[in-house]
Structure 1
Amino acid sequence: MTILSLSMLAVALHTAAIEEKCPWPESGPQQQRYHQQLSCYDQQLVTARRQLAQWQQHHQFVLQQHSQRTGRPAALNSFQAATESFQQLKEQHCRWQYQLQLPDVQLGAAYYKRCQLQLILQRAEQLESLAAR
């Protein structure tokens, strides 16, 4: 299985998990359904961001220890750069999905938050699997 195939599979699994936790409300006025959906995404984002932060802190700590032991900070510096790049990628990747839905701002916000959630969950899973090695 190629890296692209694995990445697409991970996105599909995260999408299914997000849809299970935050299904689109079936009834009620559209404004209320948007509000419920966005509220659910916000709750999920808080948890996902916390999980990602924990794994980032774990790797930061491990790499700092390695840097102090060996005197070689290259891995730590690369990890920090990768973390910053991920933040930029996440913002830009999700922004175009938001903009595509305009002028429907609420639908755009739902796409944006769902995109953020997918990427954060995928990154946290990657960092967790690296820690298990």
Structure 2
Amino acid sequence: MMNKIFTYSLTLAFCFFSTVSYAKKSIEHCEATQNTTSGLSSCLDVVKEAVDRELQTWINNQVFILEEFALATGRRAALDMFKRSQRNFITFRENDCRWQYLAISPGTGAASAYKKCYILVSKSRIKELEVINP
């Protein structure tokens, strides 16, 4: 029980600090402050990395919760299905963003379009995991 409370507290603290840091790490900030294609791309890399870290924290939290559930009940189906859904999400995100990249390629905005898509789809997954375990 104490582990769950600690995990929830840690997750909430991380989310608070990551939300504060998003003020400077957002698509909108990059578009407003970067005047070159390479500058925009570099800025989006920073946002993408921040979103990846936050998403991984939410995934780790969900796995932890489901592992605890499996230990308590002896039922691993939810954990196994969550892991499968996460693999499917990664495949979906890659394919969804890749077609957008290919539609613009070889234009100069192709890389930025891919990164924007990646960020938005990842944020959507984060919101989904936040709803499941507020």
TM-score calculated relative to the size of structure 2: 0.77
Tell whether the 8 Å contact from 2:34 to 2:40 is kept in structure 1 after alignment: no
Secondary structure, in 3 states, of the residue corresponding to 1:23?
A: helix
Whole-angstrom CA distance in 1 between matches of 2:37 and 2:33:
8
2:100 is matched with: 97
How much has 1:23 moved relative to structure 2? 1.4
Matched, 1:41 2:44: yes
Partner of 2:66: 63
Aligned residue identity for 2:113: Y
Runs of 5+ unmatched residues, structure 1: 1-16, 28-32
SS of 1:82's partner is: helix
| Structure 1 residues 92 and 26, CA gap change in structure 2 (3 angstroms) | closer
3-state SS of the aligned residue for 2:120? Answer: helix
Q: Could you tell me how far apart the structure 2 residues matched to 1:77 and 1:19 are?
A: 33
How far 1:20 moved relative to its partner?
Answer: 2.3
Deviation at 1:25, TM superposition (A): 5.4
Which 4+ runs in 1 deviate beyond 3 A?
Answer: 24-27
- Counterpart selection for 2:30 from 6, 9, 22: 22
Instruction: Name which structure has the greater RCO, CA cutoff 8 Å, separation 6+.
Output: 1
Question: How high is the sequence identity, in percent, across the aligned residues?
Answer: 29
Residue 61 of structure 1, CA deviation = 0.3
Q: Among 113, 127, 130, which residue is 1:128 paired with?
A: 130
AA matched with 2:118: Q
Which residue of 78, 82, 107 maps to 2:81?
Answer: 78
Aligned length: 110
- Letter of the 2:31 partner, please give it: P
Runs of 5+ in structure 2 lacking a partner?
1-24
In structure 1, what is the Cα distance between the partners aligned to 2:123 and 2:29?
Answer: 13
Secondary structure of the 2:50 match is: helix
SS at match of 1:121: helix
- In the alignment, which residue of structure 2 is the partner of 1:10? none
